Amino acid sequence: MDTLATPAATSLAAAPAIDRRTPRWRAWLLLTPMIVWLVAFVVAPTAILFVYSFCERDELGRVVFSFTLENYQRVSDPIYLRIFLRSIGYAGLTTAICVVVGYPVAYCIGRASEVWRQRLLLLVMVPFWTSFLIRTYAWITILKQEGLLNGALQAMALVASPLDLLYTPFAVVIGLVYAYLPFMMLPIYGSVEKLDGSLIEAAHDLGAGPLRAFSSVIIPLTMPGIAAGTLLVFVPAIGMFAITDLLGGARVPLIGNVIQNQFMQARDWPFGAALGMVFMGLFAVSYWLLQLRGGASDELHG
Amino acid sequence: MKLLLRFFAALLAAAVTFAARAANELNLFGWSEYVPQAVIDGFTEETGIKVNFETYASNEELISKLVAGGGNYDLIQPSDYAAEAMIRQNLLAPLDLKRLHNLKNIDPEFLHRPHDPDGRFTVPYMSGTVGIVVNTGKVKTPIKGYRDVFQPAFKDRIVVLNDNREIVSWALDTLGLPINTITPENLAKVRPVIAEWVKLVKVFDSDSPKTALLNGDVDLGVVWSGEAAILWHQDKRFQYVIPAEGAHQFLDLLAIPATAKNKDAAHDFIDYILRPEVSKLISDAFPYTNPNREAHRLLSTEALDNPASYPHGDGGKLESFRDIGKAAADIDRLMTDLKSAR
């Protein structure tokens, strides 16, 4: 989270620097709620997890403060590596589908007239008015054997016997895409809205067909939106456990389920903490690698 | 829907923790979907004592909040094996049995169990079993035990509790091993059995296993007896069977944490719940096995005939869980491994 906080801090601190009469402390004052929030809900819990991950547990599952590396040795077991990889697979597929489905919609909304843009955006937001869990339960009603989808398919005589939809990987991916699609669409919409129409016209004037204009002009210009959307979808999707439990029937554990289990059933907080730390470390490294590549390509273009 | 309730409970928990704790308040920490609101309201109406009700969804959650939260709770509802661990760690206060005039209503069969041999710390609340539910409309072969359920013929037609210790105990019973001896050797023996079972199961769900059965997504289940009782009440095709190889019988209790601030109110509440007419309200809402003999007189014949609430005697022996300490982690690892292998 530090990487997120720093740009915000510099931009806020830079603004008053122009007006030299404004003392610096005012910038800090404005930042205080954010800093308090980050320390209380990000830095402190992470520090606690970090300490716990080197501890042991007693019979009741209480954390005993004695130094051990045992939890990290357990994390390196191939079982957990397999689960990590599977979670990345599910999250990756979800992200890919979200891009393919979300991009055209976001593009159309972004290019629509002012009035329609507001209406369509509202429609994207409407699902958030209902709790996420209730919406997931609704999918059970749709996908179950005697459910709405199977009923419709049978009524149209498209299938002879009900399809097996609920409690399958298919249902899990549907649930994940459904839950995270708006998080892909909104950042892309933001990029599309800012897109300068004259640049597309210029591409056409210079002889580019619709495909060429799309791939060489529109996609690169909306890339920041796609990148932000990818991050907003991929990161939460990888740790999700409620959807795998409810729509997947908890048959195949993803990393979120394994970590949740350590804090509930297994009463093994130190091991759960170690899994969480490794998980976070992987994210930090992949984010850093992405930044490195992004930086390199910026230089090329610059 | 328990997941949803848990979410709201977590939100409420924060509020309750900061609420003022006057002398005339009782902080009850109980299972979700186990204490009817009518019982709590009736107690408040009679005594004027306000009840702050906070819920949990597993014994593990109860234990971790109790050891972390100190003296926030006056009355808790642990299961037998959790109470055993708590008694061993001196987390429970001895009860003043003289104040519990209605304790005589409890069937002696449910008293002085191994978790609390002297009966000094706990009072039975409700009991139940974990057994097999069969949709007899769909499954025509006789189902007597775990071996009949976990057959290739029923692949993807089975729901089981998403509870690793339960599943391991069924496999131990199937092999004739003691369900409370969780050693590396015994776990190695059940490993191939569970590996086969896991491939056949369609849904793992502890919160509401009846949903998959009612929705027609599965035909067989190994579930809590209370869930089975509700199914039978809705549709008589759902038959409950105590597995021939043996089954887990759980006993949920009322107990007072050693750090409780309002032990007087906690005693009053326990004695209130032991009244037959109050106990009946609990049975009506949550049809588990009621250990209160006097309450049975007030129950309807249909409720008493429900084979899931009051098994008719066929089936294997019933056994309680005992505290297994750190072995819970070994079970978790085994099950995670087997579930990932499919």
Residue A300 neighbours by CB under 8 Å, 6+ apart: none
Q: Are residues A126 and A38 in the same domain?
A: no
Domain that holds residue A19: 1-52
State whether A137 and B1 contact (CB < 8 Å).
yes
Instruction: State pLDDT tens for residues B213-243.
Output: 998 899 999 999 999 999 999 999 999 999 9
Q: Are residues A30 and A84 in the same domain?
A: no
The C-alpha angle with vertex B278 and arms to B277 and B279, in degrees rounded to 5, equals 95
- Tell me: the pLDDT tens digits for A16-46? 445 555 668 888 889 999 999 999 999 999 9
The span from the CA of A291 to the CA of B157, in Å, is: 48
In chain A, residues 120-179 whose CB comes closer than 8 Å to chain B: 131, 133-134, 137, 140, 144-147, 164, 166-167
Of B18 and B251, the structure prediction assigns the larger pLDDT to B251
H or E stretch at A12? helix A2-18
Compare A172 and A14 and report the one with higher pLDDT.
Answer: A172
In CATH, what number does B128-249+310-341 get? Answer: 3.40.190.10
The CA distance from A36 to A31, in Å, is 9
Residues A42 and A149 in one domain: no
- Say if CB A175 and CB A243 are below 8 A apart: yes
Q: Which of A37, A52, A67 is the last residue of a domain?
A: A52
- The pLDDT-based confidence of A301 (bands split at 50, 70, 90) is very low
Please give the average per-residue pLDDT across B197-201, as a whole number: 96
Distance from CA of B203 to the nearest CA of A (A): 4
Where is the domain boundary, A52, A67, A85? A52
Number of domains making up chain A: 2
CA distance A301 to chain B (A): 45
Q: What is the mean pLDDT of residues B185-195?
A: 96
SS (H, E, C) B40-72: HHHHHHHHCCEEEEEEECCHHHHHHHHHHHCCC
In angstroms, the CA B333 to CA A266 distance is: 9
A128 in the same domain as A276: yes
Query: What pLDDT was estimated at residue A161?
Result: 86
State residue A16's pLDDT score: 47
Of the pLDDT bands very low, low, confident and very high (cuts 50, 70, 90), residue B45 is: very high
Contact B340 A83 (CB under 8 A): yes
What average pLDDT does this structure show over B64-68?
A: 81
Which amino acid, residue B21? R
Closest residue in A to B3 (Cα) is: A133
Flag whether pLDDT at A297 surpasses 70. Answer: no
Q: What is the mean pLDDT of residues B266-283?
A: 96
> What torsion do the CA atoms of A272, A273, A279, A284 make, to the nearest 10 degrees?
170
- For residue A117, CA distances in Å to A109, A114, B192 come to 5, 5, 58
pLDDT band at B21 (very low <50, low <70, confident <90, very high): very low
Q: Does B70 touch chain A (CB under 8 A)?
A: no
Task: Give the pLDDT confidence of B289-308 residue by residue, as tens digits.
Answer: 999 999 999 999 999 999 89
ipTM over 0.90: no
Q: Do domains B2-127+251-305 and B128-249+310-341 have the same CATH topology?
A: yes
Contacts of B159 in chain A (CB under 8 A): 249
Nearest residue in chain A measured CA to CA from B63: A60
Chain A residue numbers with beta carbons less than 8 Å from the beta carbon of B332 are: 261-262, 265-266, 268
Could you give the CA distance from residue B29 to residue B206 in angstroms, rounded to a whole number? 20
Mean pLDDT of B235-263: 95
Query: A133, B332: Cβ pair inside 8 Å?
Result: no
What proportion of chain A, given as a percentage, has pLDDT over 70? 89
- Specify the pLDDT at position B78: 96
CB contact A90 to B (< 8 Å): no
The mean pLDDT of B34-55, rounded to a whole number, is 94
Residue A295 pLDDT greater than 70, yes or no: no
Does A41 contact chain B (CB < 8 Å)? no
| Residue A71 contacts B where some CB pair is shorter than 8 Å | no
Partner-chain contact B67 A60, CB within 8 Å: yes
* 3-class state of residue B155 by DSSP: coil
- Asked whether residue A125 falls in the same domain as residue A22, the answer is no
A218 and A93 in a common domain: yes
According to the model, what pLDDT value does residue B313 have?
73
* SS3 of residue B208 by DSSP: coil
Give residue-wise pLDDT tens across range A69-104: 999 999 988 889 899 999 999 999 999 999 999 999
Cβ of B337 within 8 Å of Cβ of A79? The answer is yes
Assessment of whether the complete model's pTM goes beyond 0.95: no
Cβ–Cβ gap A261/B340 under 8 Å: no
Return the beta strands (E) in A75-139 as ranges. Answer: none
- Of the listed ranges A56-70, A135-149, A271-285, B34-48, the one predicted with least confidence: A56-70
Q: What mean pLDDT do residues B10-17 have?
A: 50
Nearest CA-CA partner of B63 in B257, B228, B219: B257
Of the candidates B64, B333, B336, the beta carbon closest to that of A61 is on B64
Q: Is B277 in the A-facing interface, judged by CB distances under 8 Å?
A: no
Q: How many CB pairs under 8 A join A and B?
A: 114
| DSSP code of residue B8 | H
pLDDT of B342: 63
Contacts of B165 in chain A (CB under 8 A): 265
Across chain B, the runs of DSSP E, i.e. the strands, are 25-31, 50-56, 75-76, 122-135, 158-160, 201-204, 220-224, 238-241, 247-255, 318-319
- Of A223 and B16, the structure prediction assigns the larger pLDDT to A223
* pLDDT surpassing 70 at residue B29: yes
Domain definitions of chain B by residue range: 2-127+251-305, 128-249+310-341
Q: How far is A244 from chain B (nearest CA, A)?
A: 11
Reported as a pLDDT band with limits 50, 70 and 90, residue B326 is confident
Share of chain B above pLDDT 90, in %: 76
Superfamily of domain B2-127+251-305: Periplasmic binding protein-like II (3.40.190.10)
Q: Based on the domain organization, do A12 and A135 belong to the same domain?
A: no
The encoded tokens of residue A180 equal 């995270």
CA distances from B93 to B64, B250, B340 (A): 18, 22, 43
Rounded to whole angstroms, how far apart are CA atoms B141 and B132?
A: 14
Q: Is the dihedral of CA A116, A118, A120, A126 positive or negative?
A: negative
What average pLDDT score do residues A176-184 get?
96
Same domain, A229 and A260: yes
pLDDT confidence bin for B86, thresholds 50/70/90: very high
Please check whether residues A37 and A73 belong to one and the same domain. Answer: no
Please answer whether residues A271 and A74 qualify as being in contact, where contact means their C-beta atoms are separated by less than 8 angstroms: yes
The full length of chain A comes to 302
Same domain, A133 and A61: yes
Q: Which amino acid is at B63?
A: I
Give the pLDDT of residue B63: 86
Contacts of A252 in chain B (CB under 8 A): 339-340, 342
Q: What is the pLDDT of residue A12?
A: 46
Residues A144, A235 share a domain: yes
Is residue B264 a contact partner of residue B271, using CB atoms and an 8 Å limit? no
- Pick A294 or B117 by higher pLDDT: B117
For residues B73-80, give the mean pLDDT: 95
- DSSP secondary structure code for residue A58 in this structure: -
